[in-house]
Structure 1
Amino acid sequence: MAIDPNNLSATATLTFSEEFDAFETWNGTTGLDTIGAPQWSTKIRATGTLPYNDESQYYVAGPDGAAAAGNTLPNPFHVADGALTIAAAPADPSIQGSLEGQTYTSGMITTYHEFSQTYGYFEMRAELPAGHGLWPAFWMLPEDGSWPPELD
């Protein structure tokens, strides 16, 4: 049966939903929260940046901030009124030496390790900021980490 975006309840099965009533991250083993729902991961790779994208930010791992060289990094993740905000900001000079040469801090969320789906209808509701140096995105990437292809 084809999926009709105008009649999803009759033509599709919901497989993942996030209303951001809270922000729970991957527990590192199961990828599920206490009720068995997929969680988000805030760690994208062994380092805190994507050097091949020529990015200027260091992605802070975890909603509580992360320790870097004895300093606590700012928490870019905030949940209020059913919305997640991920803030990008200039890094305090006192921690820039711990940020792999990056001058900004920010955050990224991913369902890698927790949830994947090959086919279906995908929808995101978001307000994406505009401005110099910003790169907000909703990427769908292959589960095996290969590239290309990706869907933006």
Structure 2
Amino acid sequence: MEESAKIDHVIETLLSEIRKHGILEVSMEQYQVVCNGILKFATRKAVEVYSDALMNEFTRTAERRCDEGDICPEYLRFQKRVVRMLKSLISTGYVDFSADNSRKKYKISDETAHLVVDILNENKLVGEAKVEMNIV
């Protein structure tokens, strides 16, 4: 995807890719809320085209709002995830669904990790459900 793409088209593509990934509908609503916030931010700035500068400014504004107590740290982290996903879509043409850092509570060996993947595959988990089950 080109960096000169219109922001509304980029967000529409992102939301489509998120649905294809298997994100639950209740989570889709959260992604939609953040994406709508990005669109409103771009409209206030009179910007129609995606840019890293716009995303960086959006992130700084969200960080300031968190510092001021307007939003909680968890929501800030989610907003940053959406921005990171948008940036990956623009730079590679694909949405990066990986976590920014590992949320796993316990460190396991590579051998055990393969066993976990086999169990998740055997139970036919896909998308976000598979990711959520694989974070323990």
TM-score scaled to structure 2, two decimals?
0.32
TM-score scaled to structure 1, two decimals?
0.29
Relative to its length, the structure with more strand (as a share) is 1
- Name the structure, 1 or 2, with higher relative contact order (CA <8 Å, separation 6+): 2
Relative to its length, the structure with more helix (as a share) is 2
